[in-house]
């Protein structure tokens, strides 16, 4: 689901599956040495919702 081509140097550290209003949403946290990102995936669309510098 998380497009590995975009995030080759990141590791998935957390994944949540959320069921709401008939939708299935995934919130995935990925991290590398410099950055932590939270990504929302819904309807095959991927969006960075938070980004933190480490």
pLDDT digits (tens, 9 = 90+) for 1-45: 556 567 889 999 999 999 999 999 999 999 999 999 999 999 989
At 8 the pLDDT is 85
Q: Would the pTM of this model clear 0.75, i.e. be above it?
A: yes
Distance from C-alpha of 18 to C-alpha of 32, rounded to nearest angstrom: 24
- The full length of the chain comes to 54
At 5 the pLDDT is 63
At 36 the pLDDT is 98
Query: In Å, what is the CA distance from 31 to each residue of 4, 6, 10, 21?
Result: 13, 13, 5, 29
Bridge pairing between strands 23-31 and 11-20: antiparallel
CA 48 to chain centre: 7
At 2 the pLDDT is 58
């Amino acid at each position: 689901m998380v497009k590995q081509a975009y995030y080759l140097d990141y590791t998935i550290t957390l994944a949540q599956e959320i069921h709401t209003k008939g939708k299935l949403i995934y919130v995935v946290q990925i991290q590398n040495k410099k950055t932590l990102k939270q990504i929302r995936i819904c309807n095959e669309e991927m969006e960075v919702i938070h980004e933190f510098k480490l």
